[in-house]
């Protein structure tokens, strides 16, 4: 890993200032401002717990169910998940090192590559990802509650009851997210063993009907490879969605205590195993269903043995909370990064309201399965170029060295600094990102939207890899022909 043995401290920080409360049950006072080395109290193991525990939720499990609905067998679905999640995890791994070097989150850190104003691109992307995935967390867990209530007590399944279920899940998510980092980390350490055991019980519950070769045929895109590639691209979206939020947690890790390797290893392990094992559960259970409706959790509850219905409710409550909190907390931080005059608590309340509104649009007005697929592919086309440029910037342009003080220019309402570039925008990065994102959107093919370049590779989705290559290549070429003048 690239190392910087003497990471700079922001000259505006006060080393004698009291340490912000970062314990369970204490409301986090700090937002996206610089955290001095002496105030960092987290460790790599927390990165593992947060990203492993945060993935043990129905909102992640459905990404294992989707390939089965596409017509793939369990074996093919697992191969697609392993390849996609593995590629995505490798791509974002270097970004886990931004936070410890800059003392802030990844979107503010991206100002070193996009410019201190251009980093608002990352803040906007994070908001989109966080709101979308928070909505999926509330939808899947709320559906599970109402389906379980129907089976156990005979309560109706209608829009009014679903609204109640969504409200319960949303309320618990917002309540925890408002407290902040310390409470979120403590929660994930609880979710990881509890939900992990409940999912293992699910393997027992559905194991008697499992056939690894079941499924196949009637491929969504007409052919195996086109459909399998679609599943891979969807799987890559899991790790990509975490790229902007890694710094939310790694910024609290001291580089004086922990090396790069331990941070990267813990982060990669948490993301890969958290995503892959939950996707495996989704594909495993879905392959045993006698019919596939447009709601995974409704089918899960309907076909589960009676003794496993209560564990499903617990997964909905604990798992939905764990995943939803990750996204709502991230969305609050990044709205604060866009509107620094507001406090994190206020922005978290605002983004929570937006997530619930997005949920109702996706569930009640548009087909949920189509919504998830289209949303993931479009967001991938926008996020992959952003990730590619930040990775190239970290490894090539900055070589792991950053000035934390100059990254805070936008937040503090100042102008200038080494990352000011052209009016706060680094056009060497912004233009390649815009061009690559345009390609990504034009090359997407979903049931809700099909771009004019969707058939560029004979029906195989190249939106993600194409947009990433265009962005990284364009940025590196721009650096060579138009060198940056960073002090």
Residue with the two structure tokens 């691109």: 121
Task: Show the tokens assigned to 131.
Answer: 């709101």
The CB density around residue 129, as the number of other CB atoms within 10 Å, is 26
Task: Show the tokens assigned to 273.
Answer: 């195993």
Lowest pLDDT segment from 47-56, 346-355, 473-482:
346-355
- Percent helix, strand and coil across the chain, each to the nearest 5: 70, 0, 30
Residue 468 lies in a domain: no
Task: Show the tokens assigned to 215.
Answer: 């499924």
Quote the pLDDT of residue 5: 45
C-alpha separations of 104 from 21, 45, 100, 327, 343 in Å: 17, 19, 8, 17, 16
Residue 421 lies in a domain: no
Residue 419 lies in a domain: no
> Can you tell me the distance from the alpha carbon of 161 to that of 153, in angstroms, rounded to the nearest whole number?
13
Residue 484 lies in a domain: no
- pLDDT bin (cut points 50, 70, 90) of residue 324 is confident
pLDDT tens profile 203-252: 999 999 888 876 656 888 888 998 999 999 999 999 998 998 999 999 99
**CATH (domain of 329):** 1.10.4160.10
* Contact status, residue 348 vs residue 204, Cβ threshold 8 Å: no
* Contact status, residue 275 vs residue 60, Cβ threshold 8 Å: yes
Quote the pLDDT of residue 362: 62
Residue 32 lies in a domain: no
pLDDT above 70: residue 9 = no
pLDDT tens profile 171-188: 888 888 888 888 888 888
Residue with the two structure tokens 């890993």: 1
* Contact status, residue 351 vs residue 335, Cβ threshold 8 Å: yes
* Contact status, residue 250 vs residue 271, Cβ threshold 8 Å: no
Quote the pLDDT of residue 469: 96
Structural domain boundaries enclosing 124? 43-372
Total domains in the fold of the chain: 1
Residue 37 lies in a domain: no
Quote the pLDDT of residue 212: 80
Residue 454 lies in a domain: no
Work out the average pLDDT over 423-430: 97
């Amino acid at each position: 890993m690239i190392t910087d043995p003497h990471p700079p401290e922001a000259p505006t920080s006060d080393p004698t200032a009291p340490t912000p409360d970062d314990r369970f049950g204490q409301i986090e006072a700090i937002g996206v401002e610089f955290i001095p080395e002496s105030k960092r109290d987290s460790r790599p193991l927390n990165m593992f717990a947060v990203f492993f525990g945060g993935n043990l939720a129905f909102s992640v499990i459905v990404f294992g169910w989707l390939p089965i609905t596409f017509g793939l067998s369990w074996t093919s679905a697992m191969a697609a998940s392993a390849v996609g999640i593995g590629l995505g995890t490798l791509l974002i791994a270097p970004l886990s090192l931004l936070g410890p070097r800059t003392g802030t989150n990844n979107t503010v850190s991206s100002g070193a590559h996009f410019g201190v104003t251009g980093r608002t691109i990352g803040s906007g992307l994070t908001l989109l990802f966080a709101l979308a995935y928070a909505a999926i967390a509330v939808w899947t867990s709320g559906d599970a509650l109402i389906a379980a209530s129907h089976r156990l007590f005979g309560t109706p399944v209608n829009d009014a009851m679903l609204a109640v279920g969504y409200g319960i899940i949303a309320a618990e998510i917002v309540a925890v997210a408002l407290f902040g980092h310390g409470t979120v980390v403590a929660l994930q350490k609880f979710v990881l063993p509890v939900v992990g055991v409940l999912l293992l019980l699910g393997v027992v519950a559905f194991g008697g009907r499992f056939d690894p070769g079941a499924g196949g045929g009637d491929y969504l895109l007409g052919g195996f490879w086109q459909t399998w590639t679609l599943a891979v691209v969807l799987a890559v979206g899991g790790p990509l969605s975490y790229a902007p939020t890694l710094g939310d947690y790694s910024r609290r890790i001291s580089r004086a205590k922990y090396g790069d390797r331990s941070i990267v290893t813990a982060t990669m392990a948490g993301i890969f195993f958290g995503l892959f094992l939950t996707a495996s559960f989704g594909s495993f259970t879905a392959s045993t269903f006698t019919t596939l409706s447009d709601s995974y959790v409704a089918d899960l509850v309907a076909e589960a043995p009676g003794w496993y219905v209560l564990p499903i409710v617990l997964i909905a409550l604990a798992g939905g909370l764990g995943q939803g909190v990750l996204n709502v907390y991230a969305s609050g931080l990044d709205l604060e990064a866009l509107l620094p005059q507001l406090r994190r608590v206020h922005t978290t309340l605002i983004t929570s309201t937006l997530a619930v509104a997005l949920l109702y649009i996706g569930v009640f007005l548009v087909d949920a399965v189509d919504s998830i697929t289209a949303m993931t592919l479009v967001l991938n086309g926008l996020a992959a170029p952003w990730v590619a440029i930040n990775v190239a910037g970290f490894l090539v342009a900055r070589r792991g060295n950053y000035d934390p003080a100059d990254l805070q220019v936008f937040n503090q309402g100042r102008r200038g600094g080494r990352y000011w570039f052209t009016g706060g925008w680094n056009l060497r990065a912004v233009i390649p990102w815009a061009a690559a994102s345009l390609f990504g959107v034009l090359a997407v093919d979903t049931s809700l939207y099909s771009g004019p370049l969707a058939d560029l590779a004979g029906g195989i989705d190249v939106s993600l890899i194409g947009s990433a290559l265009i962005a990284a290549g364009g940025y590196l070429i721009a650096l060579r022909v138009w060198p940056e003048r960073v002090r």
